[in-house]
Each structure stands twice: as C-alpha cells, then as structure tokens.
Amino acid sequence: MVPGCKSFAFLAAVLGATGSIPAHAETIRVSIDKLMFSPVNISAKVGDTIEWVNADILAHTATVKGDWDVTIPPKKTASYVLKKAGDVDYYCRFHPNMKGHITIAPK
C-alpha cells in the first residue's frame, strides 16, 4: 500500500467515527469585557460547552440561582457543559448587574 492510501484510510476512519455521532457537541464562546457578557443571549443544546473568556482584571462567575456556578478568574477561561434543556438566566455573583441568557435545546 502506498503511504498516501494509508493516510486516506486513516482520514476516512476518523471522519467515519465523528460522522456517526448524530449531534456533534459544540463549544460556544462568550467573552467578558468591562463587566459585560458578549453575546448576552446564546442558543445551545444539551451537551454543548459554554466557554467564558474573561478579559477583565476582575474575577467573575456565571451563576444560575439554585443550579450551577462557574468561577472565571481574571484573564482566564472557564467552561461548563450544559446538562438540562430549558431557558436559563445567569449572572455574575460578584457583579449582579452582569447578566446573560442561554436557550438550551434538548440533545
């Protein structure tokens, strides 16, 4: 077998593997700059990862009251994998006027 064929076979195998997952989980990025989540409203589905990129010199959180809580240190990135479908409002516990919204579709 020529080397080119081998790599093609490998590539096909990889594509085949990923292709067999019906809904591929995505990573959705939300930036934080000067105490603002951007974009404020996002749509996602169960299994997707939300990744918050904090450009501020301050620590923030992404918190859903009575549910999940993610701490995002200054100049760092933190993430959360969505577990339940529904509409959630989240906010920063340290700066309660920072708000975001996620519409989560079932898997």
Report the candidate in 27, 30, 18, 24 with the shortest Cα–Cα distance to residue 107: 24
Among 59, 70, 78, 88, binds another protein (CB under 8 A): 59
Considering only 19-27, 37-45, 76-84, 88-96, which stretch makes contact with another protein by CB under 8 A? 88-96
CB nearer to another protein: pick between 12 and 55: 55
Structure tokens at 100: 């975001």
Separation CA 71–CA 21 (nearest Å): 31
The residues binding another protein (CB under 8 A) are 34-35, 56-59, 74, 93-98
